[in-house]
Structure 1
């Protein structure tokens, strides 16, 4: 067609559903999560939230660690907490020796100078001098795995010497740690172990310097059980070393062996914590172990959040989006997906109930973060499908004075979800509260929450509100740094129903195109016409649908075209504003649907001097069919033939394929889930060509009709071959298809003199068509 290439380019530039070649969402891109675990009081665990991504460092995640930097906290404690964490952090990590002046704006620096604490300043200057040597440097000559640097050994000896001078205990420990660290990076592992065992091992009370030292000792340990024990202690009590400590953990080691090394309940809890963090599957037994030894553990609340986010993935990723959970112990073929995940979801809901039962055994007042604990209980009931209890509990919690805005945000979200989910089919509506909350979550780009509410409305037969909410998702421009993939929602189609170019969506229009019935789209249109945008929710939720009203009319007509209901299709095409047909989106109609020949598919042809809009095409087709079906009409064969041309052109092989679809793919014939089989296996066209033969007045025209019916049959056989591998793959299937084409065989039998001419001469179409009379 003349404008097909232009249209495809426009479609690729405008569609939100077509991505770079080869893109397919997976992992974090599909993991369903509407209960974000980013609570400020748990920020130190942000690296280890449930995720299909590998853990990343604090710097990679751009997390400010000042508030939970145990080294900074220890320095501040040494000076009676009279200085701010921020000033200590700056002095310790950022300022240089020249910045230590009495006029410094930094309060910690001024304090050290005013109190003449030369010992502390001397240590800080020495530590800054060593900091550039705190990494392994490869030997360019490859004589050893890492290069040994003399200056590093010299500084290590200096640190040891300083630790033996008349110096206060806290600085002595710090110098010993510096010596250990320098020794490790200088590959002097025996020195590391000697310093640790002679100065740090066996202590009953430890601070951050002890755990830092334990980390480097852990790096030199060979016994995997001991490695896991030391890594667990460092992970639990040295937040800044967590990322590196968990990398030392050996998952093949039995936790029961590691726990034997724990000397007290605190150490036991540390072992269970790291074991749980490293385990992406069910960890309720680990939570119970931690609660038994440390009920008020901050880690306990964090691990409960991890279990909730796991359950979201296991239950809601397949339930709402029909993707496989981002982390799954189960693998199944696509054709087993429904059965496997229906049973899996059932079992995971039972597990959610187990987790809920555990949380109810504990007084929320005794845990580290009571408000979060109670909000999680509400969510667990939602996962259990106990919406009434969840709604009662969440309303009771909201009546209490919530001081944490992050908890309040989650509770409001859960209340909205419950208000929709508790309603019966056919009567699900949005309350004023829910509407306000949906708009609020939209400002936070919480598209997965909006999508979940949309699906719940859809499940309850409220297609208009579901479509309206769906039209709001994935609209804001989110950068990758803002976790854009995590906020964007992708979802797949039901089993047995496919899009032209794939099986997933991220835009409402494509979803309505392939999943909504004509009646559902009509109900959406009716609601759009009712909603005038006079209130904030209507103006927001229906904004895009108002803008797309003509597209919805066109979509309804297009769906009727797939059903071959021409009168209904015309009714909706005529509702579309005439200016729409001049839009580049519809310039594919710049071709003649009533003309084709033996080979013309999407390219331009001699017949394209006549073009049609969608309503013009349907009107003309109806007129031709009326004439063809009229027994008194002497040209019935002619009009049946033109109808056959039109129907062939409205399949994926013709110049007017967008009468039934909005996109086209080279893999179209592989799709078995179309609700319009004729789009890939042209039955209507074949029927009308055979009707034309039936009423033909000449042998040549009758032979031409069989030739065109044979073209339709060729496409039908191609689909059967691709879908069922029906033919012998060891031979050329083009030859097999040709021999299997019954209309070509009929042509040879009935019109042997015309057989070769029609099948081998591409220019024979015109004279044979002209021979109709």
Structure 2
């Protein structure tokens, strides 16, 4: 599993907005971007969608019965009780889409003339012999109207309790309960008797008459009959009544039966089940196995032992395939999320995290290694069990399901040859979801086993991805096939579609990075960010900065070299792009000068001033006045150290030009290496000031970084940072120049400036990491400045700095 790193504080980063720094940006929770490609589901498994694996919430979603199976059962029973000539759509419209108040008003005032075009209403009003059924429909709508919050609620399950309902509604409920009891003594048809009984049980429960609700259920239903929808729905209220009567074990039995018999009530049964009481010995093996399912589907950890227990109790349990899928999704998360999403993490955040973790780098690496070994061992155990399930089952759809599961597990353990064998064993007539998953596995297999750098692979990848997208669009989610499914269909379809493509792009980007193709890696990472966004506009809606300018370049900023930027610029300017190049370039880009700016910035970080100058010089020279936030944060003289003078005397009208700035640095380097010691010392001082100001502590930090956060000072584990970030935080380059200035100094003015700035940079590092070396050097230079240079012109000019307080 993921490395156990315990952070003492939640880091809230401050990112750039115009004029000042504010906390901003969009944060995604792990279940929204976690890589996941294994989503094969046999038809019945859609009813288990709320229990799909997630680590960040108790349930994956709150959308029970996405296929609308219970609704379909209900309207089918209505058609059977009335006439096969009545449209199921018309029954559905009255049952689920008709406001109860409007319906009752129409019944009382016009005899339902407003609904005369509905075949159900036409049937019920055409002949007086249908009056009993019409009376029940009106009764049901009256019961519906008493609910506190009717807003397209499920017909047979309202959410309020008596103490939330208006007094008028409570009185109406008592009247309706009395009417239901009376009707139970007169109606003859089983259809109506079951429905009035259900209404009586539900109303009794809502009125807190729990004993009565239980007794009415026993009288008219006796037990839950899976073939009678009303007995199942009433069984939920029976269970809740027993719960209130403190008969928890009895209630649990009914919750189990409701869970097993109703798709719409599965989620509620799981929510209400009493998990804190022991399993009664009176439970059958099947009931015990279902109880294990209820306990396991909320566990984000390893549950193979529980799944094996389900199998031991009920070898024909339909829940085994779903439980296998959950374990595969967990292993996907544990084994590939940290790899595919590694570059999503801000390097500064890693330094912060490690500073406040209970372990250091070596310990963390060892823990990750142990976790990987443990997870792979667990994967092997799961494979052995799935092989057993595949060998035992007599059903071809389950054989195919376990074969695709084994292929996926094989790929997770990098066993391509075995994956191919399992994929080849899948029937050509397998369930469409399995065949779709097979296409996904074949693409992933190709990524893992073929040479991803070749033109043939890249061309084939684009072709196969386009075919996969067509397949996904054709059958995005099985519940789209049902006319009577619940809400949120589009979101669920998006999740299936985009997460698969997103994960495959991540897989390929990871392989390309191993081969050194950083440009394709970064662009595919951006493509994957787009795919994981519902509106396809997520380059800046990730764990990064809130600006679209920086959002599209973030991956390049984290990963690219100067030569990589050259390759990217050439690619963007290329007119005859290959199919793969078109694929990875199908995303927003900044103007070409933005990438020249990043190239120059990378070169500057690497102290390659000549390359930086050439890159900046190749740009439009008003770029920094018109783009991003450069003019807001590059607006002071970079050769006057920040805070050397008072805050009031700072001048924010300086016209900063990166080309001119770097050209000046190149000239200063030449002067510093010249034969005149005094000019050399002055040049080193100016270089020191310039490189100090381009650090976190200076006034021109945006020369090096595209963002600044007040929390950066807490990123104390410098060894976790790469060289340029380390220099950015420690001002080590500035220290180097100040030391040379100190050595070359020809007078006390030069020495005063060098010693004060050396003291200052070392004090900053004490704040940063508490280094004993920095403490000693800061004290040394502070003492020298205080003892020897207070009478210099430099010291007198800088009295407003309050250096004594700073030094002490």
Normalising by structure 2, we get a TM-score of 0.75
* Shift in Å, 1:137: 2.6
Query: What does residue 512 of structure 1 align with?
Result: 556
Query: What does residue 233 of structure 2 align with?
Result: 212
In structure 2, the CA distance between the partners of 1:760 and 1:590, relative to structure 1 (3 Å rule), is closer
| Equivalent runs, 1:502-541 vs 2, <5 Å | 507=551, 509-518=553-562, 520-522=564-566, 524-525=568-569, 532-541=575-584
Moved more, 352-361 or 424-433: 424-433
Query: What does residue 727 of structure 2 align with?
Result: 678
Query: What does residue 136 of structure 1 align with?
Result: 161
Matched, 1:235 2:235: no
Query: Do 1:747 and 1:755's aligned partners in 2 also have CA atoms closer than 8 Å?
Result: no
In structure 2, the CA distance between the partners of 1:321 and 1:10, relative to structure 1 (3 Å rule), is same
Query: What does residue 4 of structure 2 align with?
Result: none
Task: Name the Cα RMSD after superposition.
Answer: 4.5
Aligned-partner Cα distance in 1 for 2:680–2:187 = 114
Aligned-partner Cα distance in 1 for 2:515–2:571 = 16
The counterpart of 2:779, out of the listed 741, 744, 748, is 741
Matched, 1:553 2:553: no
Query: What does residue 123 of structure 1 align with?
Result: 136
Aligned-partner Cα distance in 2 for 1:162–1:763 = 91
Other structure's SS at 2:528 match: coil
Aligned-partner Cα distance in 2 for 1:383–1:514 = 27
In structure 2, the CA distance between the partners of 1:669 and 1:282, relative to structure 1 (3 Å rule), is closer
Query: Do 1:448 and 1:488's aligned partners in 2 also have CA atoms closer than 8 Å?
Result: no
Query: What does residue 732 of structure 1 align with?
Result: none
Other structure's SS at 2:35 match: coil
Query: What does residue 190 of structure 1 align with?
Result: 211
Aligned-partner Cα distance in 2 for 1:87–1:177 = 23
Query: What does residue 496 of structure 1 align with?
Result: none
* Shift in Å, 1:589: 4.5
Unaligned runs of at least 5 residues, structure 1: 1-6, 325-330, 492-498, 728-735, 766-773
Aligned-partner Cα distance in 2 for 1:621–1:122 = 91
The counterpart of 1:592, out of the listed 637, 641, 644, is 637
Query: What does residue 106 of structure 1 align with?
Result: 118
Query: Do 1:640 and 1:692's aligned partners in 2 also have CA atoms closer than 8 Å?
Result: yes
Moved more, 288-297 or 233-242: 288-297
The counterpart of 1:168, out of the listed 164, 189, 192, is 189
* Shift in Å, 1:348: 2.6
The counterpart of 1:387, out of the listed 407, 412, 416, is 416
Query: What does residue 90 of structure 1 align with?
Result: 93
| Equivalent runs, 1:293-332 vs 2, <5 Å | 299-322=319-342
Other structure's SS at 1:653 match: coil
* Shift in Å, 1:460: 3.9
Other structure's SS at 1:667 match: helix
Instruction: Determine which structure has greater relative contact order: mean sequence separation of CA pairs < 8 Å that are 6+ residues apart, divided by chain length.
Output: 2
Deviations 1:129-174 (A, max 9, x none): 2233464232899xxxx99944433332332222222502332222
* Shift in Å, 1:595: 3.6
Aligned-partner Cα distance in 2 for 1:56–1:147 = 37
The counterpart of 1:711, out of the listed 746, 757, 762, is 757
Aligned-partner Cα distance in 2 for 1:430–1:211 = 54
Other structure's SS at 2:529 match: coil
Aligned-partner Cα distance in 1 for 2:370–2:540 = 27
Aligned-partner Cα distance in 1 for 2:27–2:648 = 30
Query: What does residue 617 of structure 1 align with?
Result: 661
Query: Do 2:53 and 2:329's aligned partners in 1 also have CA atoms closer than 8 Å?
Result: yes
The counterpart of 2:198, out of the listed 168, 177, 189, is 177
Aligned-partner Cα distance in 2 for 1:396–1:432 = 27
Deviations 1:497-542 (A, max 9, x none): xx9x89xx9946223323444455555556556x545444422312
Query: What does residue 284 of structure 1 align with?
Result: 304
The counterpart of 2:692, out of the listed 641, 648, 653, is 648
Query: Do 1:602 and 1:653's aligned partners in 2 also have CA atoms closer than 8 Å?
Result: no
Aligned-partner Cα distance in 1 for 2:459–2:647 = 51
Matched, 1:349 2:393: no
| Equivalent runs, 1:356-367 vs 2, <5 Å | 356-361=383-388, 362=390, 366=395
Query: What does residue 75 of structure 1 align with?
Result: 78
* Shift in Å, 1:655: 2.9
Deviations 1:421-460 (A, max 9, x none): 2246977984323223446659954434423332232234
Query: What does residue 493 of structure 2 align with?
Result: none
Other structure's SS at 1:240 match: coil
* Shift in Å, 1:369: 6.2
The counterpart of 1:44, out of the listed 36, 47, 50, is 47
In structure 2, the CA distance between the partners of 1:122 and 1:285, relative to structure 1 (3 Å rule), is farther
In structure 2, the CA distance between the partners of 1:739 and 1:474, relative to structure 1 (3 Å rule), is closer
Deviations 1:185-212 (A, max 9, x none): 1111121122223332356765222222
Matched, 1:223 2:226: no
The counterpart of 2:17, out of the listed 9, 14, 21, is 9
Aligned-partner Cα distance in 1 for 2:83–2:304 = 40
In structure 2, the CA distance between the partners of 1:424 and 1:506, relative to structure 1 (3 Å rule), is farther
Aligned-partner Cα distance in 2 for 1:435–1:182 = 58
Deviations 1:98-141 (A, max 9, x none): 37679844344445556743333332222222233464232899
* Shift in Å, 1:233: 1.0
Moved more, 184-193 or 289-298: 289-298
Deviations 1:472-502 (A, max 9, x none): 23347956xx8999x99856xxxxxxx9x89
Query: Do 2:672 and 2:681's aligned partners in 1 also have CA atoms closer than 8 Å?
Result: yes
Aligned-partner Cα distance in 1 for 2:196–2:47 = 27
Query: Do 1:591 and 1:604's aligned partners in 2 also have CA atoms closer than 8 Å?
Result: no
* Shift in Å, 1:626: 0.9
* Shift in Å, 1:218: 0.8
Unaligned runs of at least 5 residues, structure 2: 1-14, 148-159, 346-355, 474-496, 804-808
Query: Do 2:224 and 2:232's aligned partners in 1 also have CA atoms closer than 8 Å?
Result: no
Query: Do 2:462 and 2:579's aligned partners in 1 also have CA atoms closer than 8 Å?
Result: no
* Shift in Å, 1:604: 7.9
Aligned-partner Cα distance in 2 for 1:506–1:9 = 12
Other structure's SS at 1:261 match: coil
Matched, 1:419 2:436: no
Query: Do 1:102 and 1:109's aligned partners in 2 also have CA atoms closer than 8 Å?
Result: no
Matched, 1:583 2:626: yes
Query: Do 1:704 and 1:758's aligned partners in 2 also have CA atoms closer than 8 Å?
Result: no
